[in-house]
């Protein structure tokens, strides 16, 4: 099993294969299953992603039981189709797909955690954002998942991918890096460029806290996936243009690990800090859990 991004990139270079192929070969060796079986399993993951995106963008969209989130992916899609957006179609298509996926998650629907449920919109946001632009078929979309899995594996083994362990940088940050690396590969970039894209994407979100309002994976999680998707696309473009991160990917992953360990518990998914500790965040929590108790942010944090 690959222990670092450097090892992954070097092996891909020596064998003259993409990183996605290394992941297929590794799975064949460790699971003793055929290429066809492994590919089909990943295809099922892809189809779950596709169905989630479609569900979140159909009709009026989907809504969470709490009423905190829902319907905004459709709103964004309709806005984009009016042709007056500031960001342009390419970025907004990625954003609406990311939001759609996370709204399905919040509505208790089925998603593919990549790498977590809270960050499940970032990778499909990027994948379905570039699908038509690059003319990708289903096998190429599955290839992107294999590539992303290689980088995600290294991050998980050397740092963390959960908000409880390392903040949202470990969830949306990791997902953004994985998506950036996969986008580079499918666009014809080299393993080295995929590594640079991951390093840039993860660097850009270093220190991102996990502060879910009412402890639910809704606010700000849904829209943070939108940022993760856009960050991934920008990082992929920079890498494909020949820009480098200067700080190697493995060093960035290590930095993320250290930053995550240094974040206070209140900013690691406990719902006790950040946006969750604002006056409105606390009010929403009290409303959802059935109490009208008056409480201030200072009381909530014990300050």
Domain assignment present for 300: no
Q: Quick one: pLDDT at residue 298?
A: 53
Q: Quick one: pLDDT at residue 295?
A: 53
Q: What's the token pair of residue 222?
A: 């849904």
Domain assignment present for 301: no
pTM for this prediction: 0.95
Tally of domains within the chain: 1
Q: Walk along the chain (303 residues) and give the pLDDT tens digit of each residue.
A: 999 999 999 999 999 999 999 999 999 999 999 999 999 999 999 999 999 999 999 999 999 999 999 999 999 999 999 999 999 999 999 999 999 999 999 999 999 999 999 999 999 999 999 999 999 999 999 999 999 999 999 999 999 999 999 999 999 999 999 999 999 999 999 999 999 999 999 999 999 999 999 999 999 999 999 999 999 999 999 999 999 999 999 999 999 999 999 999 999 999 999 999 999 999 999 999 986 545 555 545 544
Q: What's the token pair of residue 301?
A: 């944090």
Domain assignment present for 297: no
| Cα distance between residue 58 and residue 206, in whole Å | 34
Q: Quick one: pLDDT at residue 302?
A: 46
Q: Quick one: pLDDT at residue 290?
A: 82
Domain assignment present for 302: no
CB atoms within 10 A of CB 140: 15
Distances (CA, A) of 205 to 36, 78, 172, 236, 263: 36, 29, 8, 15, 14
- Domain hosting 65: range is 5-289
Q: Quick one: pLDDT at residue 293?
A: 47
Domain assignment present for 170: yes
Domain assignment present for 298: no
Q: Quick one: pLDDT at residue 130?
A: 98
Domain assignment present for 56: yes
Domain CATH code at residue 284: 1.10.4100
| Cα distance between residue 158 and residue 156, in whole Å | 6
Domain assignment present for 294: no
């Amino acid at each position: 099993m690959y222990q670092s991004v450097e090892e992954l990139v070097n092996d891909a270079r020596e064998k003259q294969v993409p990183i996605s192929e290394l992941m297929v070969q590794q799975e064949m060796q460790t699971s003793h299953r055929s290429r066809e079986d492994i590919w089909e399993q990943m295809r099922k993951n892809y189809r779950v992603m596709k169905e989630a995106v479609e569900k979140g963008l159909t009709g009026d969209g989907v809504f969470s039981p709490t009423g905190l989130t829902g319907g905004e992916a459709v709103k964004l899609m309709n806005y984009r189709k009016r042709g007056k957006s500031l960001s342009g179609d390419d970025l907004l298509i990625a954003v609406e797909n990311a939001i759609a996926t996370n709204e399905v998650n919040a509505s208790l629907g089925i998603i593919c955690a990549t790498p977590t449920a809270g960050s499940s919109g970032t990778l499909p946001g990027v994948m379905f954002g570039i699908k038509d632009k690059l003319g990708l078929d289903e096998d190429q979309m599955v290839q992107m998942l294999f590539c992303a899995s290689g980088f995600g594996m290294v991050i998980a083994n050397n740092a963390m991918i959960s908000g409880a362990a390392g903040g949202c940088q470990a969830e949306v940050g990791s997902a953004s890096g994985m998506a950036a690396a996969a986008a580079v590969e499918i666009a014809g970039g080299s393993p080295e460029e995929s590594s640079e894209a991951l390093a840039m994407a993860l660097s850009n979100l270093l220190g991102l806290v996990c502060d879910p309002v009412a402890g639910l994976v809704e606010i700000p999680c849904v829209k943070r996936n939108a940022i993760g998707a856009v960050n991934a696309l920008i990082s992929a473009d920079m890498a494909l243009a020949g820009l480098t991160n200067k700080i190697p990917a493995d060093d960035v992953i290590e930095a993320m690990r250290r930053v995550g360990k240094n974040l206070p518990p209140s900013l690691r998914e406990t719902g006790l800090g950040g946006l969750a500790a604002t006056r409105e965040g606390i009010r929403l929590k009290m409303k959802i859990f059935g109490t009208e108790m008056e409480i201030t942010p200072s009381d909530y944090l014990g300050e």
